[in-house]
Structure 1
């Protein structure tokens, strides 16, 4: 990693402004209420808390994304302004606790599941493509793995940056099924492959 900043000051300002705009603009009438309503400040406090929780979740997932892209804990720590050990301690425990985004299959008639491990941001889609051709579809995921379930037909998988509501609705209209809530910056989808002809 070189000494050049990863983000320019104007980019940093845009991120900060967008977060402030989301916190002030998402709750209906919040910004206007601050002129005359003391209760508005409690709503602002709650909206800010939710924004901070979401930013914390995005940071955890971005760290796991950087790790999945092959970056070392030393590099991650430098970007965050902490030591390698501090970054590893802070983010490894939370990633392990996050686990799979789907409940485990149980019982004798439960579908067969397996874990595709050792995945990175660069090889996960190829692994899912191969599994899908063999009749496996994604049911969960986490840092460096996807959980897949057996079925009697092939599947296709796709990922895209977290979509807006319109993009999400379009994907669902095209038969794509969302898997989990997303893993920042990605949202995963699957759909059964219909036979040609």
Structure 2
């Protein structure tokens, strides 16, 4: 892989403009307040901080997504403009505790849980389909794994790129239950399935 950028200048400019528009547009009246209100500039600093934190989170999860798709630390480092070691030191440690598992129920009758490990972006849905047919549903996930919990009926699982509010509401109206807050660029959903339909 060469060291040339993967995005062209127009794509790069579009991303930068989109981030700036989100920072200026999300807080109510922020852009207009900058004409006459010194306090508006403090709100701009706070909005920019939130944007930077979110961009940092997306980068961490995008790196883990690239790793889950089979890319080496060397390749990821080249895209980031750093060494393999620097990329691994910056992102590998943060991924270790990244699972978003719901706390397990306790007691002798608590449902069993297990980890589906060794997963990639390309095989995770097949693993979840198989687990769902056997009555397991997703309760947590992170890089290279999903945590599933046993139940008495089959489940369906799906993922999609982070949906808009309208798309998310439509999924919920169709009975899909969001699992966690998403793992960029994916949002995961589950729903109970009629016998014989999970994974279809």
Interval of TM-score (by shorter of Structure 1 and Structure 2)? over 0.9
Instruction: Report the Cα distance in structure 1 between the residues aligned to 2:76 and 2:3, rounded to whole angstroms.
Output: 14
| CA distance in structure 2 between the aligned counterparts of 1:9 and 1:168, rounded to whole angstroms | 31
Residue 168 (structure 1) shift? 0.3
TM-score w.r.t. length of structure 1: 0.96
Q: Is the 8 A contact 2:3 2:78 kept in 1?
A: no
Do the aligned partners of 2:153 and 2:193 also contact (CA within 8 Å) in 1? yes
Report how far residue 3 of structure 1 moved: 4.3
Q: CA deviation at 1:121?
A: 0.1
Q: Deviations over 1:33-91 (max 9, x none)?
A: 00100100010000000000000000000000000000000000000011000000110
Q: Please list every run of at least 4 consecutive aligned residues from structure 1 whose deviation after the TM superposition is greater than 4 angstroms.
A: none
In the alignment of these two chains, the number of paired residues is 197
Higher mean alpha-carbon deviation, 87-96 vs 97-106, is at: 97-106
2:138 aligned counterpart, secondary structure: strand
Does structure 1 retain, via aligned residues, the 8 Å contact 2:178–2:190? yes
> How far, CA to CA, are the matches of 1:149 and 1:161 in structure 2?
24
**1:143-197 CA distance string (max 9 Å, x none):** 0000000000000100000000000000000010000000000000000112499
**How far apart in 2 are the matches of 1:178 and 1:152?**
20
Aligned-residue CA RMSD (Å): 1.8
Gaps of 5+ in 1: none
TM-score of the superposed pair, with normalisation by structure 2: 0.95
Shift of 1:98: 1.9
Which whole-Å CA distance do the structure 2 matches of 1:180 and 1:126 have between them? 20
Is 2:5–2:79's contact at 8 Å kept on the other side of the alignment?
Answer: no
- Is residue 136–residue 148 contact of structure 1 (8 Å, CA) maintained in 2? yes
CA distance in 2, matches of 1:50, 1:150: 37
CA contact (8 A) 1:105 1:113 kept: no
Q: CA deviation at 1:21?
A: 0.1
Secondary structure of 2:148's partner? Answer: strand
- 1:107 Cα offset (Å): 2.7
User: Unaligned 5+ residue runs, structure 2?
Assistant: none
Conserved 8 A contact 2:100-2:180: no
